[in-house]
């Protein structure tokens, strides 16, 4: 488990969240921890994975479009 995930897991267990103290304890940036904990941003991996999904969707749409154009031109 990376540092941010460990800090977030520990924050969920706290009755009163103290993001600065948890960031200091785990050696992570307070702002990043706060944004991730509140769901404002995701990890770089999350961003990369969502881009890959969008790229695959666009690519499959382009393939389908080309295929349909080819079928139409043959008839």
Predicted confidence at residue 20, as pLDDT, reads 97
Whether 13 maps to a domain, the answer reads yes
Whether 71 maps to a domain, the answer reads no
Which structural domain range is residue 25 located in?
3-38
Predicted confidence at residue 41, as pLDDT, reads 73
pLDDT digits over 21-75, tens only? 999 999 999 999 999 999 887 665 666 566 666 555 555 655 555 555 555 555 5
Domains identified in the chain, total number = 1
DSSP SS3 for 21: helix
* pLDDT band of 6, cuts 50, 70, 90: very high
Whether 55 maps to a domain, the answer reads no
Euclidean distance between CA atoms 55 and 6, whole angstroms: 31
Predicted confidence at residue 39, as pLDDT, reads 87
Euclidean distance between CA atoms 24 and 30, whole angstroms: 8
42: Cβ contacts below 8 Å, ≥ 6 apart? 36
Whether the full predicted model's pTM is greater than 0.75, yes or no, is: no
Do 33 and 47 meet the contact criterion of CB atoms below 8 Å apart?
Answer: no
User: Token digits for 28?
Assistant: 């992570």
């Amino acid at each position: 488990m990376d540092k941010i995930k460990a800090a977030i897991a520990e924050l969920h267990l706290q009755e009163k969240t103290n993001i600065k103290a948890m960031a200091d304890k785990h050696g992570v940036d307070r702002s990043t921890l706060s944004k991730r904990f509140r769901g404002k941003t995701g990890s770089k991996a999350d961003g990369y994975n969502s881009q890959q999904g969008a790229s695959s969707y666009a690519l499959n749409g382009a393939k389908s479009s080309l295929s349909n154009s080819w079928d139409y031109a043959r008839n």
